[in-house]
Amino acid sequence: MTGPDEPAALHATELGFGYRARGDRALRDCGFTVPRGRITALVGRNGAGKSTLLHLAGGLLRPTHGRIRVLGTAPDSAGARTRVALLTQDKPLYPRFTVADTLRMGGKLNASSWDRRVAERVVREGGIALSARVGELSPGRRTRVALALALGKRPELLLLDEPLADLDPVVRTEIMATLMAEAAERELSIVLSSHVLPDLEQTCDWVLLLRAGRVELSEDADALREGHTLLTGHVDEEPALREHTVVHRRRHGRQLTALVRPRGPVGGSWHVERPPLEEILLGHLQDGAAPKEAAA
Amino acid sequence: MEGDVVEYRIDRQSGIPAYVQIVRQTEQALRMGVLQVGDRLPTAKEVVAATAINPNTVFRAYRDMEQAGLVRSRRGLGTFVTRSLARPGAEDDSPLRADLAAWVARALAAGLERDDVLALVTAALDEHDEQHEHDPGDRGRKQEDA
Amino acid sequence: MRGTLWLAWRQQRALIGCGAVVLLAAVVLAAYSRAGMVEDLRSGLFDGCDPGPLYCTRSPDGLPRFLDVEPLRLLGALNLALPVLVGMFWGAPLLGRDRELGTHRMILSQGVGRAQWFASRFALAALGTTALSGSLALLFRWWWEPAVNRSYGVFWYEATALTGSGPSLVAAALFGLAAGTLAGLLARRVLSAAAWTLLVTGAVAVLVQWTHRARLLVPPQRYVSDGWRPKEPMGDKWSTGHYGLITGSGRRDSVLECPYPSGRELRECMTGHGYVSRYYEANPAGDYWAFQWTDTALLGGLALVLVLVTVLLLRRRV
């Protein structure tokens, strides 16, 4: 898909970040690489550090430890600013601007790379009038305008923090379709965080899973699917799992259900299923001691 | 030569990878004669805009079909059907179809329910497969019908 | 830079328009009122008035005579409040609005660096503030001209004139803007930023008035008159309220030791106590500029420090 010499979309080494006010570290010892041209699902529970990671990649925060590179450069460099777009969770826009004003602003702020056609198309696909005031739009339409602003600058890397939260299923699908169509047309890497795991099933081909501030998975989605099996059997069969990685296990009476990353053939008699991505991700998120809940 | 001859529907809950679903739906359309030689498949962007799936999935499905010799992509023009899977017996007005319709009518008259009919057909197909010991490339078919 | 300047203009044009309307209204009022003042002066009613007496009296009935300078004092009051107003309504939302809406994150992910985001909008606001405060200061000066230091007019040491005119007004307005901007950066809410700005700029304004009254930065001069000779008239000087008597050895005593304005009683009292001269302390009219320049340096320096702090905090806070 991309040459081996091309810098990765995201590359972090020993990345750490601590909010001074809270004292604890939101991210610690994160090392991972997300190749270019991928649509990456950034998953994790609340407070796992998803937003922090995206803000670091977008240059809104600076790492307190280690470093992160986007497309091979520092996130707050001028080069990265023109090539990376970040849409934060609150999708901030000026409420008193009209949609046309907002897009004109995009053009003025990105003089060299702005593509008005793309931005206007994204807005039009949502049936949004250019003369509408941003503050009066529904959440879904606001998201679409914010997305138009992000896509209009023709980024090579698009970072989206919970772009689908608070949107109804129809709008979610529409926005996802717009994103995917944009990715189909040109070289665009997308990293999107989401709690809506089913939405990620058919859209993402790379998974970045955070647990309590650490990166647990950074892997191709198909490799994940192929690398996991869901075993159901008698609890007495459990010792057979010893030489494999058990991601998650659940006992119910005499029945044992285990999400396993086998290292070779699994002995014993089991009912074997190939779990969907959603179940694999859930298994990794639930595994072991539950991570600390985010402070309300 | 229209580009909108097929529309893919992706079932997100099925657990079947989207590229497999695209390949199967294309094959089915070819079998039914919905797609014919020379037809242009929708572009990846069109598929993606309609289904909100990962474009790489579509690229992969088209690549697989190209390797199987079903389609050929021409740079800048699109992906075109090069081979038909339509069999004379599968069309709407074929004698086989008429036979099947008559058989279904008899089965229902005999008191069978829809599921019984389907089970009967599946069993007959399985039996046939076992007897003939050949699997013409439809690996996933049994799973799909199950 | 052009892009962010466009955005700055797009967001501040309403404020700039507001400023222009206020200025225009002030100009109209000034032109009308000043014409009236000039006409009154031409009528000859004030011909006999000098800066000397504290007020001018009408010949037949002895009533004091004043020019209508109330509208001028009104402009002076507006100018006094200008730093607070600029700080609250222009400075506080400058970064505070973006901080409140989170829109700085959108701007910063649109190919704009922090420094540029701040510099372009602050530059435009500073330009607008300078133009507005400079124009209002000049307008006050022009309007004040016929009544400067006249018993029937406005003396230079009145707060409305001393603080409401001259280059110090520009420095004060820029200080208000800088204070509001920093408050917006720190408070993250426009409303609380405006409240903080009101508090800080208000306190500084009170402090400046206090330094004037205490003559802290521009010390007064001592005017000494030997013996019981009449004192040099106060005229347009700004008295500190300190006056008294001096002995042969140079000791200064309160005027209450000999509370007589002149005449025999004074003479007898002074000789009795061994006083050889009398004195009073005041700032001459020329000190208007000394006050102006010290205020300008003080407030301009403060504004500069605040801008510097803002720039330094920009990388940490945003």
Query: Which helix H or strand E contains C93, and what residues bound it?
Result: helix C92-101
Binding partners of C (≥3 Cβ pairs within 8 A): A
Binding partners of B (≥3 Cβ pairs within 8 A): A
> Do at least 3 CB pairs under 8 Å connect B with C?
no
* DSSP annotation string for A6-53: SPPSEEEEEEEEE-TTT-SEEEEEEEEEE-TT-EEEEE--TTSSHHHH
pLDDT one-digit tens code per residue, C214-234:
999 999 999 998 887 888 888
Among the partner residues A184, A201, A276, nearest to B48 by beta-carbon distance: A184
Read off the pLDDT of each residue in C157-162 and give the average, rounded to a whole number.
Answer: 94
B24-42 CB burial, b ≥16 within 10 A, e <16 = bbbbebbeeeebeeebbbb
Annotate B88-100 with three-state secondary structure: HHHCCCCHHHHHH
Whether C125 has a pLDDT exceeding 70, the answer reads yes
* Contacts of the segment C199-208: beta carbons below 8 A, 24+ positions apart: C200/C87, C201/C83, C201/C84, C201/C87, C201/C88, C201/C175, C201/C176, C202/C84, C204/C83, C204/C175, C204/C179, C204/C299, C204/C302, C205/C80, C205/C83, C205/C84, C205/C163, C205/C172, C208/C163, C208/C172, C208/C295, C208/C298, C208/C299
pLDDT one-digit tens code per residue, A250-281:
888 889 999 999 988 888 888 888 888 888 99
Angstroms from A58 CA to nearest CA on chain C? 7
Residue C7: name the closest of C129, C132, C131, C106 by CA: C106
Q: C-alpha A241: how far from its chain's center?
A: 31
Are residues C10 and A58, on separate chains, in Cβ contact within 8 Å?
A: no
How many beta carbons lie within 10 A of that of residue B141, not counting itself?
14
Helices (H) and strands (E) in chain B, counts: 6, 3
**Quick check: C95 and C179 in contact, CB under 8 A?**
no
Q: C-alpha C123: how far from its chain's center?
A: 24
Are residues B56 and A274, on separate chains, in Cβ contact within 8 Å?
A: no
Per-residue pLDDT of chain B (146 residues; tens, 9 = 90+): 445 678 898 887 777 788 899 999 999 888 888 888 888 999 888 899 888 899 988 999 999 999 999 999 888 888 999 888 776 666 666 778 888 888 999 998 988 888 888 888 888 888 888 777 654 444 444 444 43
**Sign (positive or negative) of CA dihedral B38, B44, B50, B54:** positive
What's residue C137's pLDDT? 97
Interface-testing mutation among A178, A186, A188, A201, with chain B (most B C-beta atoms within 10 A): A201
Question: Structure pTM?
Answer: 0.82
Among the partner residues A87, A92, A111, nearest to C3 by beta-carbon distance: A111
Whether A7 has a pLDDT exceeding 90, the answer reads no
Are residues B58 and A184, on separate chains, in Cβ contact within 8 Å?
A: yes
- Residue A21: pLDDT band with limits 50, 70, 90: low
pLDDT one-digit tens code per residue, C19-74:
999 999 999 999 999 999 999 888 877 777 766 556 777 666 777 777 888 999 99
* Contacts of the segment A68-75: beta carbons below 8 A, 24+ positions apart: A68/A10, A68/A11, A68/A12, A68/A15, A69/A7, A69/A8, A69/A10, A69/A11, A69/A12, A70/A9, A70/A10, A70/A157, A71/A7, A71/A8, A71/A9, A71/A36, A71/A156, A71/A157, A72/A7, A72/A8, A72/A11, A73/A7
Residues from chain C that touch A95, judged by Cβ atoms under 8 A, are 101
Among the partner residues B15, B43, B54, nearest to A180 by beta-carbon distance: B54
Are residues B48 and A181, on separate chains, in Cβ contact within 8 Å?
A: yes
Distance, in Å, from the CA atom of C159 to the CA atom of C155, rounded to the nearest integer, reads 9
What's residue A288's pLDDT? 60
Distance, in Å, from the CA atom of B86 to the CA atom of A143, rounded to the nearest integer, reads 45
Among the partner residues A177, A201, A205, nearest to B56 by beta-carbon distance: A205
What's residue B141's pLDDT? 42
B117 part of contact set with chain A, CB < 8 Å: no
pLDDT one-digit tens code per residue, A159-187:
999 988 878 888 888 888 989 998 988 88
Whether A189 has a pLDDT exceeding 90, the answer reads yes
What's residue C50's pLDDT? 67
For A205, name the nearest residue in chain B, comparing CA atoms only.
B54
- Interface of chain A toward chain C, CB-CB under 8 angstroms: 58-60, 62, 76, 78, 81-82, 84-88, 90, 92-95, 97, 101, 105-106, 108-111, 113, 146, 149-150, 153
